[in-house]
Amino acid sequence: MKTVIQRVSKASVTIHKKKVAEIETGLLILLGIVPEDTQEDIDFLVRKIANLRIFNDENNVMNNSLLNINGEAIVVSQFTLHAATKKGNRPSYIKAAKPEIAIPLYEDFIKTLEKKLNKKVQTGTFGADMKVELLNDGPVTIIIDSKNKE
């Protein structure tokens, strides 16, 4: 699993001109899934994301996590995170999991994150054409790949 995490002042997801998700201070999480992903990948990413100290404390130092600030989250499925761009100019998405594998993992990721945060996590709709708006705070953008735990 690969995630792009953006610290936001606000974010929203719109589908067919209808806003389906909207948060204030928190994280916008783009989630890409490959067929080899398991619950272990979900648990690693959820633990890392919830505890990542990327929110400012009273001294304007990044010492607080999403848990510390009781922040909100939006999770958006993003198969293009696994684009292969080595050959040519047209990305290949062959590494991305097919919906029959990806949807259950996507749903489990959301449930696991909700349990960790002890609150509802907002989402886009898997496979939908979504318009994602955000105000990146910082900017702070972090990429975490569960297969590359550096």
Q: Which residues fall within 8 angstroms of residue 99, CB to CB, at 6 or more apart?
A: 126, 127
Length reported for the chain: 150
Could you confirm whether 80 is annotated as catalytic?
yes
- How many Å apart are CA 80 and CA 29, to the nearest integer? 14
Q: 104 preceded by cis ω (within 30°)?
A: no
* Residue 117: Cβ-neighbour burial (10 angstroms; 0-12, 13-18, 19+): buried
Instruction: Exactly one of 3, 14, 25, 80 is catalytic; name it.
Output: 80
Q: At what angle do helices 99-117 and 39-51 cross, to 10 degrees?
A: 40
- The residues annotated with a catalytic role in the active site are 80
